[in-house]
Structure 1
Amino acid sequence: MIKNRAFLKWAGGKYHLIDAIRRHLPDGDLLIEPFIGAGSVFLNTDYPRYLLTDINADLIYLYQLLKDNPERFIDDAKHLFSTETNDADCYYQLRQEFNLSQDPYHRSLLFLYLNRHGYNGLCRYNKSGGFNVPFGRYKKPYFPASELEYFAQKAKQAEFVCCSYEQTFDRVQTGDVVYCDPPYAPLTATASFTSYTSGGFNEGQQLHLAQLAELVSHQRGATVLISNHEIAFTRKIYSAAQLSSLKVRRTISRKGQKRVKVDELLALYPAQPRTDSVAYLVESAKLR
């Protein structure tokens, strides 16, 4: 199967892991992704329907607008990719314009521009919700016209919703397949959780996600696959899952010598026969 690249640059994107991920995902009628990110898994799987969600409203607005009116969006976006706009002063002016704008269409155009012109494809907000990624200083940022067109075509099979992962799990039904790519747990005690929204993603949320995955696999007969760093913490919280590990090259650093391979963990919760036991009903109530 030919692999398709996302139109967004994305730190932690799953393009290079897609073969391993596909091997763990069963067939089904619906694939649900509570952390859609750049959408590499969506773009490289073949399910009849998709439910793609994220807490990042800018991401979901962009995807929905591209689905609804791809020709207009692509035509408008390409004008932001020029010699004049590939300049630090212009970048910071447009970044401020993005942070001040309340118009979803304008923000979506600028989100694509910032993603392709900002440092290493980072998506980062400060505690006030302001996008704060610095200028990337690329010689000629690539305008992903063909990638945008492919995404828009495949998006006809998808529903995009801005909501939390908990709200997404509420919609999981028997036979559904769920792939979760949450902000990763830090490799060291001093590292920070990825803050792709102003709220971040802490250890309690990592644990809660694991609990929900185990719950829906037993109570609702859904399959859940989660990816994360392989560290003692993640092995502990995913202890009820089938675990697979592999090496992944990190590319977040500008310096090549710092692009080292790290351990990646895939935690699979296979669909189990549905149970109406009191224990699971009580646990379900606790987690909501």
Structure 2
Amino acid sequence: MIKKQRAFLKWAGGKFKLVDAIVRHLPAGQRLVEPFVGAGSVFLNTDYPNYLLCDINKDLIEMYRIVQKDPEHFIGLAGELFVAANNDSDFYYETRKRFNAATDPLDRALGFLYLNRHGFNGLCRYNRKGSFNVPFGSYKKPYFPEAEIRGFSLKSQNAEFACIGYEQAFALLKQEDVVYCDPPYAPLSTTASFTTYVGAGFSLDDQAILARNSRHTAFEKGIPVVISNHDIPLTRELYRGAKLEVISVQRNISQKGASRKKVDELIAFYDAVESSGNVIQMLQRA
């Protein structure tokens, strides 16, 4: 049994637990394209010749480029932040303040990793002014992911990182690509809110546009697309024409541990060949 490789970031909605189910739906290809790379668990646990890994979070992408190029220098500097004396709310908030004021990519990358591992619940959240605003996490001993950083760097030698939105990522697709999309999830209810990772967040319109782009990419360009999301009536309607698999997974959807429970997640697979046949059948019935 091959041991799965963990990401070096904590990430709300990370796909480590779902990797096996997702990989089952990913066909062979020359390049895996991820418009929402996040912590990169799918990238780390697949074996494509090349990767295009995209995200609109500039801090995330710049950090990945630094780790890709010179992991040992990054590890040496980051390790100085992961000492017991720095696991303190005062140091955390001072580091967050410095991070929000910093302009140097390396300074921001180091701050980003420290905040990610010491902040509350692995959240990555910015306010409307673009300032990181996750509170201190109060963990007993935050983990320094030295081995995971080296593993990520080694794996990323065949990867290209791009700070672009999902529509721009779809525009860069070419034949023999395979696409995996892990968008910010649709809300479980009308009272639930989106987590704003960057900018104005991911709207219901974005959910619909992503689904439409995925269908068109499979139907018209012959490029397979896999998407994961909450299993709710909205996503089942949006992902019509796709093969669907439901997975029950533990999610921290509440701050209170006793309220955390399993939720159903949907994996939608737009098979390029079969989807084209579905389109022909629908046109013949019309």
Same fold (TM over 0.5): yes
Deviation at 1:188, TM superposition (A): 0.8
Identity of aligned residues (%): 56
What residue identity is the alignment partner of 2:205? G
The C-alpha deviation readout for 1:153-209, integer Å capped at 9, x for no partner, is 001010001001000000111221000000000101011112111220000000000
Aligned to 2:213: 212
Conservation of the 8 A alpha-carbon contact between 1:221 and 1:273: no
Equivalent residue runs for 1:42-53 within 5 Å? 42-53=43-54
Correspondence 1:231 to 2:232: yes
Q: Equivalents in 2 of 1:205, 1:256: separation in Å?
A: 31
Pairs aligned (count)? 275
Q: Equivalents in 1 of 2:239, 2:212: separation in Å?
A: 9
Q: Equivalents in 2 of 1:253, 1:83: separation in Å?
A: 28
Q: Equivalents in 2 of 1:125, 1:269: separation in Å?
A: 33
Secondary structure in 2 matching 1:84 = helix
The list of structure 1 runs, each at least 4 consecutive aligned residues, that deviate by more than 6 angstroms after superposition, is none
Q: Equivalents in 2 of 1:41, 1:170: separation in Å?
A: 21
**Structure 2 unaligned spans of 5+:** 277-286
Secondary structure in 1 matching 2:14 = coil
Equivalent residue runs for 1:76-225 within 5 Å? 76-225=77-226
Correspondence 1:9 to 2:6: no
When structure 1 is superposed on structure 2, of 235-244 and 264-273 the one drifting more is: 264-273
Q: Equivalents in 2 of 1:169, 1:14: separation in Å?
A: 21
What residue identity is the alignment partner of 2:169? T
**Structure 1 unaligned spans of 5+:** 276-288
Conservation of the 8 A alpha-carbon contact between 1:120 and 1:252: no
CA 1:110–1:160 in 2, change beyond 3 Å: closer, same or farther? same
What residue identity is the alignment partner of 1:222? I
TM-score, length of structure 1 as denominator length: 0.93
Please give the root-mean-square deviation of Cα atoms over the aligned residues, in Å. 1.3
Equivalent residue runs for 1:29-48 within 5 Å? 29-48=30-49
Conservation of the 8 A alpha-carbon contact between 1:173 and 1:221: no
